[in-house]
Amino acid sequence: MGELTIAKSAGFCFGVTRAVNMVYEAIEKENVPIYTYGPIIHNDEVVKDMEKNGVTVINDLDELSSHEKGVMIIRSHGISKAEYDRIKNCGFEVLNATCPFVSKIHRYVEDYSSKGYDIIIVGSPKHPEVCGIKGWADEKCHVTIINSPEDAENYMKNSTKKLCIVSQTTFNYNKFQDIVEIIAKKGYDITVLNTICNATEVRQTEARKVAQCSDVMIVIGDRHSSNTQKLFEICKNECKNTYYIQTSDEMGYTQIRSNNNVGITAGASTPNNIIEEVSKNVRNEL
């Protein structure tokens, strides 16, 4: 008979829990329209439930003028300083659900860029967290986004300024170390701030260990979730039978044999009820 191992770190992280709770608390307390700027977290199931409870997602600030004033909740990924100021200036009450670990990066970038540093952000260029971080740099600062060792190899500093290197909170820790090492060898004057969330490191390390001991590995999370995508990459390297699903319905449980060892992990925006449903269905096959 096979065994099921569920990663202890699977599911909501601190920042996501905080953001989701802020929205539901606002739903209970506020008597004005409630909006989120962008999806509050990267999980369609959670966002759909909030919409059922009257929350409206605003994806473009040009939409603000066509909506009744109310409470605007800033997504957990954070936004740029200019976006934050624009929302306030439009007369909305702002609740900031930005993950505190992301807000810390905003302060680093604002501080170091004001001191004359150029900034390197290690992360996915189009990810909302990275776009938000970039928007806290001083206008005179040059910001470069690096997503791969190849990007790092090709990077050439075009000024005499010092460099401050930060990272997207959910970036692969080992990959970040490789990128920093490549840039350091270029001889630039650099300050490295490892801003990868500790929970991300723990989640990735645990996922790797579970996958190494599994015949089948299931990674649960939204298709747009950067941290879930990275978990899938890590697990796939250790277990060829790794499946990436968003809901339980997407998993073909008949592929699991009774003698399989099955591992489950989940992204930081995955609700516990989905993890529990997948686990129950796996146990039925074992």
pLDDT in tens, 55-108: 999 999 998 888 899 999 999 999 999 999 999 999 999 999 999 999 999 999
Residue 129 annotated to the active site: yes
Whether residue 70 contacts residue 26, with contact meaning beta carbons closer than 8 Å, is answered with no
Confidence of residue 251 (pLDDT cuts 50, 70, 90): very high
* Whole-angstrom distance, CA of residue 99 vs CA of residue 59: 19
* Whole-angstrom distance, CA of residue 116 vs CA of residue 98: 26
- Asked whether residue 42 carries a pLDDT value surpassing 90, the answer given is no
What global pTM score does this model have?
0.83
Catalytic residue from among 25, 28, 129, 233? 129
pLDDT for the residue 109? 98
pLDDT for the residue 201? 86
pLDDT for the residue 285? 84
Single out the residue of 168, 145, 223 nearest to residue 15, CA to CA. 168
User: Is beta strand 190-192 parallel, antiparallel or unpaired with respect to 242-245?
Assistant: unpaired
Confidence of residue 276 (pLDDT cuts 50, 70, 90): very high
* Whole-angstrom distance, CA of residue 41 vs CA of residue 122: 21
Confidence of residue 189 (pLDDT cuts 50, 70, 90): very high
Mean pLDDT throughout 273-277? 94
